[in-house]
């Protein structure tokens, strides 16, 4: 599997990904093959299409799509710490939904998507123009795959920015802006046409790994349908259910035996659950899976045995952590909890993640950050890569079968049909992760969320206690009540119930830190109506879409800003 990953990345290395202006269509086409004509092999086709896939690696790169989908939600928080992480207030703005049209994360996502779209259009145009000799069947399948990856890029933009231009060829320099409805219609039309043609592979094997096969496209369409009511005002639960059932009954995929198998360094096509993965290789390619830098404090190298030093800012929202049911192993399989000892000396205490975080920017009377490296559980979901330096080789599971199960359950419950099958679908996923575990009931799924929404106060930490810990007089273990000391202040609709709140929680626990939380919250109606940690509700809902980046507005007079910005 690793050989395949390296081969794919080397073949596509010519398409080195730079974040260029989204409509800089005169840029050099690095993936273009210079011969007037040649007979394309399967390997050549992979190389040609690579430029459209490679930008997906920006998902887990710095300030990428992962941050866009997780930092504004109720699971991830990046506070200012003694070693930095103010970064011009970027993470505070993401948490509080006070971003502008120059915010890094949404701007990078917008530009990355159009970079991938441009690459797909470029190769598609060349193939349609007859630049490469290939059999008609292979040509049609290749064009379909390029359309699929282009539509996947547009499905991201549909979700994040909504009202964006639809560009279908490489020479459209100043395209007109489309409405969110038009973008939705385009994405659905592309996916449904491709699925109906049935030219993409229906196998899960080495050749299709890291590429969109038939079932990957089906999952992409399912996710769009799941959020259709948000995008267009019209729900598409029946259509989403049909997609979920098609994948679940295909016989191609099954749940991995262990929840953590989906996040191993050596993922690969042998994993039965992952339907579409974004390959990474920390040794041989420059786009980065940089989670070690995001999550782990500088001292973590003494725990893991790394030669490099991490930066360690981001952590879990204490409110989300407290929502886990007792005995759910996904808690410890997702988060790093409690004393972390030295690799070389198991008796040496390195740091102790605790479920306490005073505020985004708490400081003492001298202006020093009081947000200790111990504050907040750190992500432990992705297996630590001990063979690379700083950047990891974990592949990112963009679509996995568990999403089809939970989508089926949600569709059935929202349609009011076959509620027993909905419960079975959820328990199928739960029992893989929580075994043995009491099954959830219909009442559990349709009841309220376990998350206590509202703003959290500082809690019982005193300045003297902080100084004593800093000076080594006491440790966090000497403050056992600190985790439960933060007062909750509810206002507005914080205390109101969440429809299908139990299922909402299952989505959060199963897919925490997989780049889904923002659109989950929007779909369940909590993103704009609830407050959490230091975040106030945004009742007008305008932050459900990110602003069109200022540089895009400046470069194309046909674009208008999204409402509210």
- Cα–Cα distance between 81 and 93 in angstroms, integer? 16
How deeply is 96 buried, as exposed, middle or buried, from its count of CB atoms within 10 A (0-12, 13-18, 19+)? middle
- Say which DSSP state 238 is in: H
Where do we find the tokens 């975080």? 357
Q: Domain for residue 562, yes or no?
A: no
pLDDT score of 40 more than 80: no
- Cα–Cα distance between 24 and 334 in angstroms, integer? 40
- Cα–Cα distance between 344 and 250 in angstroms, integer? 48
- Cα–Cα distance between 519 and 225 in angstroms, integer? 12
pLDDT score of 207 more than 90: no
Two tokens, residue 512: 């925490």
* Cβ count near 565 (within 10 Å): 14
- Say which DSSP state 398 is in: E
The pLDDT value recorded for residue 10 is 31
Q: Domain for residue 564, yes or no?
A: no
What is the extent of the structural domain holding 80?
2-555
pTM for the whole structure: 0.93
* Cβ count near 497 (within 10 Å): 10
Q: Domain for residue 560, yes or no?
A: no
How deeply is 205 buried, as exposed, middle or buried, from its count of CB atoms within 10 A (0-12, 13-18, 19+)? exposed
- Cα–Cα distance between 408 and 421 in angstroms, integer? 9
Q: 416-474 pLDDT, tens per residue?
A: 999 999 999 999 999 888 766 689 999 999 999 999 999 999 999 999 999 998 888 98
Q: Domain for residue 563, yes or no?
A: no
Q: What percent of the chain has pLDDT over 70?
A: 90
> DSSP secondary structure string, 454-494?
EEE---S--HHHHHHHHTTSS-GGG-TTGGG---EE--TTT
Q: 333-378 pLDDT, tens per residue?
A: 999 999 999 999 999 999 999 999 999 998 888 888 899 999 999 9
Two tokens, residue 153: 């890029």
pLDDT score of 286 more than 60: no
Dihedral-angle region of residue 535 (phi above 0 means left; psi in -120 to 50 means alpha; beta otherwise): beta
* Cβ count near 246 (within 10 Å): 17
Q: Which residues pair with 532 in a beta bridge?
A: 454, 535
72-76, 285-289, 330-334 — which is least confidently predicted? 285-289
- Cα–Cα distance between 423 and 444 in angstroms, integer? 9
pLDDT score of 31 more than 70: no
Number of domains present in the structure of the chain? 1
Read off the CATH number of the domain in which 223 is found.
1.25.40.390
> DSSP secondary structure string, 35-85?
SS--B--HHHHHHHHHHHHGGGGGGGSTTSHHHHHHTTSSSEE---BTTB-
Element (H, E) at 154: helix 136-160
Q: Nearest CA to 410 among 520, 291, 492?
A: 520
Backbone angles phi, psi at 39, to 5 degrees: -85, 120
């Amino acid at each position: 599997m690793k050989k395949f990953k390296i081969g794919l990345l080397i073949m596509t290395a010519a398409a080195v990904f730079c974040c260029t202006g989204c409509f800089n269509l005169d840029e050099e086409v690095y993936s273009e093959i210079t011969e007037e004509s040649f007979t394309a092999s399967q390997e050549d086709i992979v190389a040609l299409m690579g430029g459209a896939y490679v930008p997906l690696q920006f998902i887990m790169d710095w300030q990428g799509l992962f941050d866009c989908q997780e930092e504004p939600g109720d699971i991830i928080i990046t506070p200012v710490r003694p070693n930095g992480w103010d970064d011009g207030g970027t993470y505070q703005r993401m948490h509080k939904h006070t971003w502008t049209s120059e915010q890094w994360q949404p701007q990078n996502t917008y530009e990355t998507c159009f970079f991938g779209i441009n690459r797909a259009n470029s190769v598609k145009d060349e193939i349609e123009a007859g630049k490469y000799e290939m059999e008609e069947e292979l040509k049609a399948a290749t064009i379909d795959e390029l359309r699929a990856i282009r539509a996947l890029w547009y499905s991201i933009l549909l979700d994040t920015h909504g009202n964006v231009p639809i560009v279908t060829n490489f020479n459209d320099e100043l395209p007109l802006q489309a409405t969110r409805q038009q973008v939705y219609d385009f994405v659905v039309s592309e996916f449904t046409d491709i699925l109906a043609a049935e030219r993409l592979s229906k196998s899960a094997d080495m050749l299709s790994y890291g590429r969109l096969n038939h079932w990957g496209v089906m999952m992409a369409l399912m996710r769009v349908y799941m959020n259709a009511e948000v995008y267009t005002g019209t729900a598409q639960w029946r259509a989403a259910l049909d997609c979920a059932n098609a994948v679940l009954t295909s016989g191609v995929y099954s749940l991995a035996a262990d929840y953590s198998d989906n996040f191993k360094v050596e993922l690969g096509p042998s994993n039965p659950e992952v339907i579409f993965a974004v390959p990474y290789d920390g040794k041989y390619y420059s786009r980065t899976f940089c989670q070690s830098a995001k999550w782990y404090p500088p001292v973590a190298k003494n725990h893991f045995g790394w030669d490099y030093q991490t930066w360690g800012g981001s952590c879990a929202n204490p409110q989300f952590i407290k929502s886990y049911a007792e005995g759910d192993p996904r808690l410890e399989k997702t988060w790093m909890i409690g004393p972390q000892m030295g690799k070389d000396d198991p008796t040496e205490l390195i740091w102790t993640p605790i479920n306490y975080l005073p505020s985004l920017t708490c400081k003492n009377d001298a202006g020093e950050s009081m947000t200790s490296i111990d504050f907040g559980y750190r992500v432990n979901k992705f297996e630590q890569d001990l063979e690379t330096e700083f950047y990891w080789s974990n592949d990112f599971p963009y679509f996995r079968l568990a999403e089809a199960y939970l989508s089926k359950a949600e569709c059935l419950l929202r349609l009011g049909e076959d509620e027993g099958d909905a419960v079975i679908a959820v328990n199928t996923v739960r029992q893989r992760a929580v075994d043995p575990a009491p099954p959830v009931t219909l009442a559990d799924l349709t009841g309220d969320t376990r998350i206590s929404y509202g703003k959290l106060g500082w809690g019982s930490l005193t300045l003297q206690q902080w100084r004593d810990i800093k000076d080594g007089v006491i440790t966090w273990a000497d403050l056992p009540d600190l985790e439960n000391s933060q007062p909750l202040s509810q206002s507005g609709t914080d205390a109101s119930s969440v429809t299908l709140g139990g299922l909402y929680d299952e989505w959060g626990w199963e897919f925490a830190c997989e780049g889904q939380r923002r659109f989950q919250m929007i779909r369940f109606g909590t993103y704009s109506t609830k407050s959490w940690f230091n975040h106030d509700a945004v009742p007008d809902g305008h932050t459900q879409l990110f602003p069109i980046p200022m540089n895009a507005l400046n470069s194309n007079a046909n674009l208008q800003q999204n409402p509210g910005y």
